Amino acid sequence: MVDYICPLAMLHHLGEKAPDFVSFVLSHLRDGRGRVAFYLDDVKPGNALRVDQGRKYTAVYWSILELPHWYRVGDGGWMPLLFVQVGHLRSAGVTVASLTRQVFRALWNPADGAFNLATTGVRFGSGHLFLDFCCFLADEAGLKEMLSVKGAAGSKPCLLCLNCVGRCPRDEVGEGMFHYSNPDLSGMMPATPAMLNVMAERLRDARGSSRGGARGASRARGRGRVTQ
């Protein structure tokens, strides 16, 4: 179990207890709707050169992008979401990608009648606040962990397109594919949610085969471990 500070509850509480904050936020939104960004990074307290990672933890914060820059770079500009020790995740067999998925299910639940920041919103003072997901902010390692992608280690390094390839000479790229170093994006085939779901199912099927087969399928598709 991972404890987290639910933004729905936090915003509702602030709406009741901090009317000046409500006025400040709503003054920068159009019709009470904004965009959310998540920031993720690993923190290693104490001696950063320590051999083991017993104290290392993952920190996740969030912010509303419509708020002014001077506020977002201040102490209160990024609100805490969760802090979890990396060792606890590993011992439980939980990846950062699966943790991210559960966070999204809690904040943007697609079920009918469920709380959803984008559709049902949250009561905020005398009105309602609606928030859509916009982006992740993290370093390369953090993005790969959150999105469960291989990056440069995969044959398909791009998360957003299906026919971008790497780890091969540019002149050996097959028909219908384009090399990651090619600046012409006209031939890019964007990945749709349906296509990504098919890819995830194939990776799950590959996990039932040999370990080498699963690893090869993961590298070929540029995706990491698929979690429920």
Range of the domain at 206: 151-221
Position 79 in a domain: yes
Same domain? 119 vs 170: no
Position 2 in a domain: no
Provide the mean pLDDT of the chain: 83
Same domain? 83 vs 142: yes
Q: Is the dihedral of CA 172, 174, 178, 184 positive or negative?
A: positive
The pLDDT value given to residue 211: 54
The pLDDT value given to residue 222: 46
In the chain, how many domains are there?
2
Domain boundary among 129, 147, 165: 147
Which pTM value belongs to this model?
0.76
Same domain? 143 vs 163: no
Q: Each residue of 168-218: pLDDT tens digit?
A: 888 888 888 888 888 887 888 888 878 877 877 777 777 665 555 545 444
Q: Each residue of 17-48: pLDDT tens digit?
A: 999 999 999 999 999 999 999 999 988 888 77
Q: What is the largest CA-CA distance in the chain?
A: 63
Q: Which amino acid is at 112?
A: D
Q: Distance of CA 169 to CAs 119, 130, 155, 178, 180, Å?
A: 46, 47, 12, 11, 10
The pLDDT value given to residue 220: 47
Domain boundary among 147, 174, 203: 147
Position 57 in a domain: yes
The pLDDT value given to residue 215: 52
Q: Each residue of 59-115: pLDDT tens digit?
A: 999 999 999 999 999 988 999 999 998 888 888 888 888 888 888 889 999 888 888
